[in-house]
Amino acid sequence: DAKTTQPTSMDCAEGRAANLPCNHSTISGNEYVYWYRQIHSQGPQYIIHGLKNNETNEMASLIITEDRKSSTLILPHATLRDTAVYYCIHIYNQGGKLIFGQGTELSVKP
Amino acid sequence: GAGVSQSPRYKVAKRGQDVALRCDPISGHVSLFWYQQALGQGPEFLTYFQNEAQLDKSGLPSDRFFAERPEGSVSTLKIQRTQQEDSAVYLCASSFIWRGEYEQYFGPGTRLTVT
């Protein structure tokens, strides 16, 4: 099964950038990196995904290293509403099941 | 637009009872997934449908768990003879998959407590 490594928890000051790292050293050439987050008592929410190139959308930016063994999710201006557990997942079949790890619990503090 | 809905949101069952959990996916979404989330853990895959076909049920923990999606839209996860270890949040997700839209949209989950 695909496996990623993320820090258990992180803190970030409101208004500052939150940089969430993920190691996926076992990723293969055709596997995508997906990020989801789960706010307390809600279902997970898709954030962003990428293959090789860096990606940006209205929620976040995804930076993937050249060797693709790690990535960083960047929330440019974190708000209190960004407090959640963030999951990094690598997946070959984009239409298939997601394998969640423990994720990173991000706490945004005022 | 309407998201994925699940019902009931909360269910308390006595050990040994049967339960049925319902998922209404986003209209037009081809794929439907069920996940189980124990307290403090990430969601774990249970089963997957593409339209009405159940293509993967490798995550179902025992033969007490059964899922169906007979008309390719609404899905039901049934648990027979519930046990305390079945207590968890059951999440449903759907995705479109065509035109490269693979992201999964999750419902709020059903919290099952077996007493």
pLDDT digits (tens, 9 = 90+) for B22-66: 999 999 999 999 999 999 999 999 999 999 999 999 999 999 999
Interval B100-114: pLDDT, tens: 778 999 999 999 999
Interval B67-77: pLDDT, tens: 999 999 999 99
**What is the token pair recorded at B85?**
């270890």
pLDDT at residue A23, rounded to an integer: 95
Poorest-confidence range of A9-18, A31-40, A83-92, B91-100? B91-100
Identify which of A68, A72, A43 has the alpha carbon closest to the alpha carbon of residue A60: A72
b/e sequence A60-91, b meaning 16+ C-beta within 10 Å:
bbbbbeeebebbebbbeebeeebbbbbbbbbb
pLDDT at residue B1, rounded to an integer: 58
CB pairs under 8 A between A and B: 51
Nearest residue on chain A to B58, alpha-carbon basis = A97
Which of the pair, A94 or A4, is modelled with greater confidence? Answer: A4
Nearest residue on chain B to A43, alpha-carbon basis = B108
> Is residue B115 predicted with pLDDT exceeding 80?
yes
User: How distant is the Cα of B44 from the closest Cα of chain A, in angstroms?
Assistant: 7
pLDDT at residue A1, rounded to an integer: 53
Is the preceding peptide bond at A110 cis, omega within 30 degrees of 0? no
Whether B104 and A42 lie within 8 Å, measured CB to CB = no
Identify which of B86, B88, B97 has the alpha carbon closest to the alpha carbon of residue B29: B97
Whether B43 and A46 lie within 8 Å, measured CB to CB = no
Which of the pair, B67 or B97, is modelled with greater confidence? Answer: B67
What residues of chain B lie within 8 A of the CB of A55, using their CB? none
Contact assessment for residue A4 and residue A90, using Cβ atoms and an 8 Å cutoff = yes
Using CB atoms, pick whichever of B42, B93, B105 lies closest to residue A102: B42
Whether A100 and B44 lie within 8 Å, measured CB to CB = yes
Interval A42-99: pLDDT, tens: 999 999 999 999 999 999 999 999 999 999 999 999 999 999 999 999 888 888 899 9
Beta bridge pairs of residue A107: A11
What residues of chain B lie within 8 A of the CB of A103, using their CB? 42
pLDDT at residue A8, rounded to an integer: 96
Residue with tokens 């189980």: B36
Using CB atoms, pick whichever of A42, A87, A95 lies closest to residue B102: A95
